[in-house]
Amino acid sequence: VTDAPRVRLKAGREKPARDGHPWVFSGAVERVLGDPGPGALVRVEDPAGRFLGWGHYSPVSQIRVRVLERHEERVPDAAWLRGRIGEAVARRAPLPGEPEGACRLVFSEADLLPGLVVDRYAGWLVVQLLTAGMDRLRGTIVDALRDLLAPAGILERGDDGHRGLEGLPPAGGLLAGSAPPGPVAIRDGRLRFAVDLGAGQKTGFYLDQRENRPAVAALAPGRRVLDAFCYTGAFAAHAAAAGAASLLLLDSSAEALRVAEGNLAANGLAGTPRETRCADAFGELRRLRDQGRLFDLVVLDPPKLAPTRAKAQQAARAYKDANLFAMRLLAPDGILATFSCSGGVDAAFFREIVRWAAIDAGREVQVVRALGASPDHPVRIAFPESEYLTGLLLRVL
Ligand code: SAH
């Protein structure tokens, strides 16, 4: 591999790579020595030709190289890849041991495997290959996962645009073993949920919210709960199990709401008084206010409104409005659990947005606790982009 193509960085542009950030942007590249194809292994070097890292090359993405390895002697071959996947899986122990367990086993750059996401849903694995480099290694990855975990099946899921940025076609389908005969039953805390691995959002379930649901549910007893952007109702179900007085489930997806009904029933929670509304949440939160409705606990978990930093300002307005509308629906001393899963909105900016909402709502707001993604979605210090989910548990006086 000493003849691997080399990507030499411009003088003054090598610091991020030297400090361990895994992205090398096209603007930092002085020249490419050799002719790497999409996904090829390249040697990233400083202006003097000194080694900085091994990475995957992408001729079309603005992120020209994703650095995989910073030790020159550890060349990323098939054995290296197996080893690194094994290490990521081992860090999740003992979680993967539960038969109905669900968790993220590999989280891309945060697990030193840029472009590879692996989620486990009971006996099945769902894989996302988000870079040209990982796309080329599909076979090696599947073999490694079979050897390590012996799953009943491995499915591939598309994504929200990452593959397109790498010049890759949409992906999906069964990679190994057999597809589940129907929705897969998984355990999330004390409750069970049905997850459609073929058609659900993301890879099927929002695993990153696992620890936040019991945290919110602990404040739910006796409260009227509004679960806005509820998807398959996981927050609502935990709140109901904890003794919520009533539920309102709100989402724009009729299918998600149908699955949510099934999840409540499957957990013996169909007795909790509830309403479901299939609508645009921004409009519906206003309408609920016009109807004079009040709640004691609101969960606000919108989709990614700012995928990049460039979209953050525009998204800030939408986040502010949603939080303002939610605060107006809260009875005095109500609880608001509010989230952003936008990589472009960091925790400090999100708190600022919520402060604007509080000003406009004319309410005093206390932070009960700051929330983030569960530990199977690690935050890598050298890669701040991995801290994409931020949340606040608030008391709205
Ligand atoms: N809280 C959920 C995850 C929410 S994901 C959980 O814990 O599982 C975001 C949800 O917002 C998705 O279900 C999506 O269907 C929904 N959504 C997206 N845009 C919306 C809109 N404008 N109004 C209402 N729901 C919307």
Q: What is the pLDDT of residues 96-120, one digit of tens each?
A: 568 899 999 999 999 999 999 999 9
Which tops the pLDDT comparison, 156 or 312? 156
Torsion angles phi and psi, residue 335, rounded to 5: -105, 135
Instruction: List active site positions.
Output: 341
Decide if 299 contacts 228 (C-beta within 8 A).
yes
Ligand 1 centroid – CA 199 distance (Å) = 15
Please choose, from the candidates 45, 37, 40, 42, the residue with its C-alpha nearest in 3D space to the C-alpha of residue 18: 45
Give the pLDDT band (50/70/90) at residue 306: confident
Residue owning the nearest CA to atom 16 of ligand 1: 229
Mean pLDDT of the chain: 95
Sign of CA dihedral 261, 264, 267, 269: negative
Residue owning the nearest CA to atom 1 of ligand 1: 230
Close Cβ partners of 279 (under 8 Å, ≥ 6 residues apart)? 250, 252, 287
Q: What is the pLDDT of residues 279-296, one digit of tens each?
A: 999 999 999 999 999 999
Mean predicted confidence (pLDDT) in 12-39: 97
Determine whether the shortest distance from the Cβ of 336 to ligand 1 is under 6 A.
no
pLDDT at 138 over 90: yes
Give the pLDDT band (50/70/90) at residue 75: very high
- The pLDDT of residue 314 is 86
Ligand 1 centroid – CA 248 distance (Å) = 14
* Nearest atom in ligand 1 to 253's CA: 15
DSSP 307: S
- The pLDDT of residue 320 is 97
Determine whether the shortest distance from the Cβ of 267 to ligand 1 is under 6 A.
no
Please choose, from the candidates 105, 106, 103, 108, the residue with its C-alpha nearest in 3D space to the C-alpha of residue 121: 103
Task: Name beta bridge partners: 7.
Answer: 32, 44
Q: What is the pLDDT of residues 199-218, one digit of tens each?
A: 766 678 999 999 999 999 99
Mean predicted confidence (pLDDT) in 250-255: 97
pLDDT at 364 over 90: yes
pLDDT at 2 over 80: no
Determine whether the shortest distance from the Cβ of 237 to ligand 1 is under 6 A.
no
Whole-structure pTM value:
0.95
- The pLDDT of residue 296 is 98
Between 66-75, 86-95, 252-261, 269-278, the lowest mean confidence (pLDDT) is in: 86-95
Between 131-135, 312-316, 330-334, 345-349, the lowest mean confidence (pLDDT) is in: 312-316
